[in-house]
Amino acid sequence: MLTLDQVLAWLNALDDVYARNKARLTDLDSAIGDADHGINLARGFSAVAAALAQQPPEDIAAALKTASLTLIRTVGGAAGPLYGTFFLRASTVSAGKTALSAADVVAVIEAGVGGLLQRGKAEREDKTMVDAWLPALEAIQKAHAEGASIAEMMRQATAAAEAGMRATIPLIARKGRASYLGERSIGHQDPGATSTYLMLQAAADTWN
């Protein structure tokens, strides 16, 4: 089972993860975007950590909803609405729960990714965060079907997300500001796919 404390540990870890990777993500975004992805996520997850400390949530849904509303309020560009939608949808399937089973974790990720797809209208190989999220979701579903633990599910999801992230490098961007570059977007790793990988890696590390 995944406890509320472990979910909070993950959300708080993201504050440190994005602070440490702010320059890296901003550099990636400067090549094909607005050069603010790292700055925005560092600011957003710092605000999430502060909000969770100020009003400790009673259950996992409340924690995820706090993350959602804080990100939507504090993060500019596409990342705020997209990650905000991810956490909001995830919160709806964890209502009233103070612990998540492996099946619950699958449902949470499924709901979150579903929200991303609906909000962003992106598909695989559009060179977006979806290129990391979809392989990660498929890896989680497969691992769960094979009876894996939550920790093993997240390890496999992280590996799949990393492969998906690297697979964005040769793609032509078809969504967002990067799409304006056309073939000039080839050769650059997508910043959204990178921040997705970092988010899942933090979960794998925290829930190990």
Query: What is the pLDDT at residue 77?
Result: 80
Report pLDDT for 181: 66
Residue 137 in contact with residue 105, Cβ under 8 Å? no
In terms of Cβ atoms closer than 10 Å to its own Cβ (0-12, 13-18, 19+), residue 64 is buried
**If you ran DSSP here, which 8-state letter would residue 124 be given?**
T
Question: What pLDDT was estimated at residue 32?
Answer: 85
pLDDT confidence tier of residue 131, bands split at 50, 70 and 90: very high
Output the pLDDT for position 184: 73
Specify the pLDDT at position 177.
Answer: 66
More confident residue, 129 or 77: 129
Tell me the DSSP string of 128-150: STHHHHHHHHHHHHHHHHTT--H
pLDDT for 112 = 98
pLDDT tens digits, one per residue of 7-46: 999 999 999 999 999 999 999 999 988 889 999 999 999 9
pLDDT at 175: 67
Sign for the pseudo-dihedral over CA of 24, 153, 16, 40:
positive
Average model confidence (pLDDT) across the chain: 95
The pLDDT value given to residue 22: 97
**SS3 (DSSP) at 99:** strand
pLDDT score for 33: 84
- Least confident span in 109-123, 156-170, 182-196: 182-196
Please state which architecture CATH assigns to domain 2-206.
Answer: Alpha Horseshoe (1.25)
Taking alpha carbons only, the member of 170, 85, 161 closest to residue 129 is 161
| pLDDT at residue 182, as a whole number | 72
CB-based contact 181:157 (threshold 8 Å): no
Q: Evaluate if residue 98 carries a pLDDT over 90.
A: yes
Instruction: Give the per-residue pLDDT at 174.
Output: 77
Please determine, for residue 189, whether its predicted confidence score (pLDDT) is greater than 80: yes
Tell me the domain boundaries of the chain.
2-206
